[in-house]
Structure 1
């Protein structure tokens, strides 16, 4: 019904001018190195024009890009995927954080080892492990383009038995100057370098926007699935650390693992629509292209977001074995409890239908109106389904409602003082008593013509436990508990110094009643408080064609049993950047991720969660890559030698998580083509 209504509105609004805008051959530039095929378009007042970074493959001035706030419908400037340098690094799982933990293959479950980089626990808790690969309205970049735009990305590495591939394609075009429709597909296929470790992921997105002075409509449809074959980790670390000590010949795929024929599967389907009607007035303008300009005063906003999510843990590793005279299946030997008989087949279903109404007073419609103000009311209907009985396999459903009120106070115009303050509170239903308030303040000043910026940020949260944190039923884990609210208080800031190209980050957080999985993989709650201190320095140096970019993060936790973190994490990238000829740009260098040794989180496939193990330390080893990254006209391409340090650095300690080494040294290739004509 939403799709039909939305299409009817689009057709009615654009019927007078619904045609594909094709490029005018008389306006195409003759510059062979230019990617600006058309002169800049005049942006709509409601569509922010985002300046491209200096190292962008192409400003693409005929395209506007933005994201939206899922509750208020506000436009947030966004940069398209056009960055010229370090393209090869963004194709790796390591790129999502300075220190990242993952199972090895692209698309596998992952967790940031920087605690302040981790997202809040999702209502569907199984999504957190796949967060970098999941689509969401908050991540979607909407476009408005004068000419059809297409983007094709492909990367590949490994041989026939271990090949890792990712293909991403996007097509976006306008029908008239206001209506845009885009389609994007993202496919990952990783066979894995270790036994029973393949990953298959399919993610499809359809997005659209219709933007005029008074009406702003956005739609986002997504269907995605990830199937991750689980092996529980390798059984003996010496196959990686000291391969010469192993008295047998082997390859990475023949290293013994805990179990086989076992996998996790995640499905995510969602529909999001946002409608915004702007109230305002028109004023004369001196612009020769438009005689009048619309000034928005207030807005009425309605958003609706429906999600349908599913997780299944299934195993055919059912060979009969006996432990102390007790018959069981092979995979059962790795778990202490078995709450039902037969093969493992656990599943959880979740759906959410969230509707939000908002009223907004727009910033700047009068000189004395120095800020914008938005108030919203949100209703969320959630439903869960899982196993009910340990004997019959029956299922039960749980339904809950959540009503939230909140507001946003912001100032985003000007240069010397900007702020954004948000607060919301649960007033009815499952989130009664939940409260979140956050704020960001930014100021800047000129020194010798260069702008130095100082940003302060803070939040205060009182979070109700998620339903799946209190109730979960499966073959190996079964609990029904009542947890207290988690309280989080954070304060931090950021300073950017343009003269030295240095950015300092400092933050401290206090967490009370933190919910986590302990060393026995049981969910528990820390009644006391844990403090996390994080200090980060980003320093970029260059001399002529030589560049050296560094990110250094210091962390400390007051209770490593509850929140373990590496003391020091580093990403360093040393490279040469130059033009070989006028049409070919080359970046050649070596980069590495490194962190000090610590008790990194363990991974439990049956829970699809990370837990605080205290048996093995991971770290003190560089995951290094030698690469060449090139740009030719509208094309970027790279070749890299991943995990290069393992060929000379012994003992080999390239474990990302306990029992899970990263891929051995391999050659990877990739190409990206942007077409906008």
Structure 2
């Protein structure tokens, strides 16, 4: 890891110096629209005042960087959705721990391990290759890729470490992007995770690399992303004796965390994902008669022709060498087999599943605002996807490969208004017209309005959708050593209505949402894919309140949830993130923050984790919760450098019994010191 850090540091610094004289003129961003499957369709810009979680809302408004534009790309319309840069001056430490991804989340312990949000409305719908869903915070995909346009070369290095050898946990992220002229930008990004795990057989490794670029002119806009990601997760099945965590004194012997007994060893999941994404847009318009300072007329886009192509290749493999023969109830079996009631072949575990997708989208767009009377934009598209699946199969008693190919064709449209402060909206609809997704539809919309009272902006937004979703292939069919099913599921129907209100006078954000789900697909207590044919309602009410008095700050986020059927959709009743800290500017250069924060939720039957499926399932054996995962930390920001020191899981030193389980059988790391550094390099 040290060698990789030095190589990347040298590469970033050298390239920054080579291109230190580069200067570009930033093109204006196109009118922005939405992410097609997001629950937050409208772009969140600084003037709206909406909060985004535990961090201070949009702390990146006053950038210290030279002029730069940063955006996500709409995968269907090709529009640029402007986002703030990652230059938080405080709460940086929360972005480096798995707990920071949600008010309440479950994970296996080390950074980089599978993660699930315990807030239901934060979970995405199941993807075509659901094994990678468990790595959502670490996924690299076109919809999450950040594109840049900079006046000078820009590089950023992030490094964090925790623990000591041989159980050290490290993460290194590096970004380098630069413009070549005023139109072309290219960049390279890497994300390396190496966490040995403080418990036996729990090592995690991630190696993610992406090359990206964009070319922007009046007529042509193109974006390219090439990325490859690998993840290796050693699996131990969870600890078998909770006394080592809850009441270590009762064990009656000296031990370290790696001495705590676990279910199995020499077992791991391997994931590999490759993306090749291209988006091209041709703008049709005219030159305005008004001349700029150079005597040129400004180009006004009227309509656009968009083509997007996205290839995805994914592979997942589950292996185990934990094959020592044991006798259980008079039967001889491999050691790992004793934890599973079914075995569909007798050799050592070696399950593999592959998936590939080629998605092509053609769209036509009428641009908003090219004339004063054109108050909205309109986009229509047609999208085709070819999918291939491969998994093991049994033919005449022998193991073979089962291959499946399917096609899907959607038509859809987007109607949006993104200009103006008083009313913005986004409506979108799509319908499956050919192939396996015939009859699937999605009608979704969001509206936002705002009004100013005594010079402060109050923002009110609403969001709703109606969906009829086709179950994907791996939800209906899956073959492996321990799990084997072929099922005929009905389409899932989802109806959601929600809203959010930001009150600037009290720095308060109120949110509420309710959803009705029919034919919901989940993993039951036996860890099999199941469908609940009746209706389930989920209600969420959230309050975010940030208090400030001089250098004293107290940020709080409280989420109340209720589920109509806790066996189908289990949720904690109350989840809380609270952060109390002192923040001050020292000698006009150094921003210093010192505080304590905690994540807490009430006890409930939290999802369990099944390594053989790389999925979370609805267990009914153990409740998790009523225990704070707290940190004591200090953050510092000096010019282009951010640094933090954190004492993680500090509550375990005083809070007894120690019950710091994130999921059944999976405790979080014990109290440990964590350090982090982030450096921005630019000229």
Q: Give me the whole-angstrom Cα distance separating, in 1, the residues matched to 2:367 and 2:481.
A: 53
**Residue ranges of structure 2 left out of the alignment (5+ in a row):** 1-16, 33-42, 47-56
Q: Give me the whole-angstrom Cα distance separating, in 2, the residues matched to 1:88 and 1:303.
A: 37
Q: Does the CA contact (< 8 Å) of 2:66 and 2:152 recur in 1?
A: no
Q: Give me the whole-angstrom Cα distance separating, in 2, the residues matched to 1:227 and 1:210.
A: 35
| Equivalent position of 1:474 in the other structure | 480
Q: Give me the whole-angstrom Cα distance separating, in 1, the residues matched to 2:346 and 2:416.
A: 57
Equivalent of residue 150 in structure 1, options 143, 155, 169 = 155
Q: Does the CA contact (< 8 Å) of 2:647 and 2:673 recur in 1?
A: yes
Deviation, structure 1 residue 280 = 0.2
| Equivalent position of 2:364 in the other structure | 359
| Equivalent position of 1:28 in the other structure | none
| Equivalent position of 2:251 in the other structure | 246
**Residue ranges of structure 1 left out of the alignment (5+ in a row):** 1-18, 25-37
Q: Give me the whole-angstrom Cα distance separating, in 1, the residues matched to 2:349 and 2:361.
A: 39
Q: SS state of the match for residue 80, structure 1? A: coil
Q: After alignment, is 522-531 or 577-586 more displaced?
A: 577-586
Deviation, structure 1 residue 61 = 3.9
Task: Give the TM-score normalised by the residue count of structure 1.
Answer: 0.93
Establish whether residue 259 from structure 1 lines up as the match of residue 241 from structure 2.
no
Task: Give the TM-score normalised by the residue count of structure 2.
Answer: 0.92
| Equivalent position of 2:40 in the other structure | none
Instruction: Report Cα offsets for 1:394-440 as digits up to 9, x if no partner.
Output: 10210000000000000000110100001111111111111111100
Q: Give me the whole-angstrom Cα distance separating, in 2, the residues matched to 1:63 and 1:82.
A: 13
Q: SS state of the match for residue 398, structure 2? A: coil
Q: Does the CA contact (< 8 Å) of 1:298 and 1:362 recur in 2?
A: yes
Q: Does the CA contact (< 8 Å) of 1:646 and 1:652 recur in 2?
A: yes
Q: Does the CA contact (< 8 Å) of 2:60 and 2:84 recur in 1?
A: no
Q: SS state of the match for residue 630, structure 1? A: strand
Equivalent of residue 372 in structure 1, options 368, 377, 395 = 377
| Equivalent position of 1:214 in the other structure | 219
Q: Give me the whole-angstrom Cα distance separating, in 1, the residues matched to 2:89 and 2:490.
A: 48
Q: Give me the whole-angstrom Cα distance separating, in 1, the residues matched to 2:166 and 2:177.
A: 35
Equivalent of residue 200 in structure 1, options 198, 205, 208 = 205
Q: SS state of the match for residue 285, structure 1? A: strand
Instruction: Report Cα offsets for 1:222-250 as digits up to 9, x if no partner.
Output: 10010000000000111101111113321
Q: SS state of the match for residue 622, structure 2? A: coil
Q: SS state of the match for residue 256, structure 1? A: coil
Deviation, structure 1 residue 290 = 5.9
| Equivalent position of 1:318 in the other structure | 323
| Equivalent position of 2:54 in the other structure | none
| Equivalent position of 1:629 in the other structure | 635
Q: Give me the whole-angstrom Cα distance separating, in 2, the residues matched to 1:290 and 1:413.
A: 27
Q: Which has the higher contact order (CA 8 A, sep 6+)?
A: 2
Q: Does the CA contact (< 8 Å) of 1:646 and 1:664 recur in 2?
A: yes
Q: Give me the whole-angstrom Cα distance separating, in 2, the residues matched to 1:145 and 1:42.
A: 7
Equivalent of residue 661 in structure 1, options 667, 676, 682 = 667
Deviation, structure 1 residue 517 = 1.1
Q: Does the CA contact (< 8 Å) of 2:29 and 2:80 recur in 1?
A: no
Equivalent of residue 410 in structure 1, options 411, 416, 422 = 416
| Equivalent position of 1:35 in the other structure | none
Equivalent of residue 186 in structure 2, options 181, 185, 195 = 181
Establish whether residue 44 from structure 1 lines up as the match of residue 49 from structure 2.
no
Task: Report the CA distance shift for 1:60/1:53 in structure 2 as closer, same or farther (over 3 A).
Answer: farther
Q: SS state of the match for residue 388, structure 1? A: strand
Q: Does the CA contact (< 8 Å) of 1:492 and 1:507 recur in 2?
A: yes
Establish whether residue 437 from structure 1 lines up as the match of residue 443 from structure 2.
yes
Deviation, structure 1 residue 20 = 8.1
Q: Does the CA contact (< 8 Å) of 2:26 and 2:150 recur in 1?
A: no
Task: Report the CA distance shift for 1:221/1:652 in structure 2 as closer, same or farther (over 3 A).
Answer: same
Q: Does the CA contact (< 8 Å) of 1:552 and 1:571 recur in 2?
A: yes
